[in-house]
Amino acid sequence: MQNYIREPGTNISESVLFLLRGAKKRRSMAVAKAKMIQGQLGVVPRLVAVK
């Protein structure tokens, strides 16, 4: 029986990846809500995301 050493695909830990996924989800939800509010107010949406 051989012992296989599992190497990670990235050098980022799973907990950090989890936090980044949550931040991405919250950001996309915030942008969607801002567009909805602008639409209700009659403002032309011109949101630009800076990454």
The per-residue pLDDT for range 8-40, each reduced to its tens digit, is 677 778 888 899 999 999 999 998 998 888 888
Residue 50 has pLDDT above 90, yes or no: no
Q: What is the DSSP track for 3-18?
A: PPPPPPSSSS-HHHHH
Structure tokens that stand for 1 in this block: 């029986």
Q: In this structure, are residues 47 and 34 in contact, taking their beta carbons and an 8 Å threshold?
A: yes
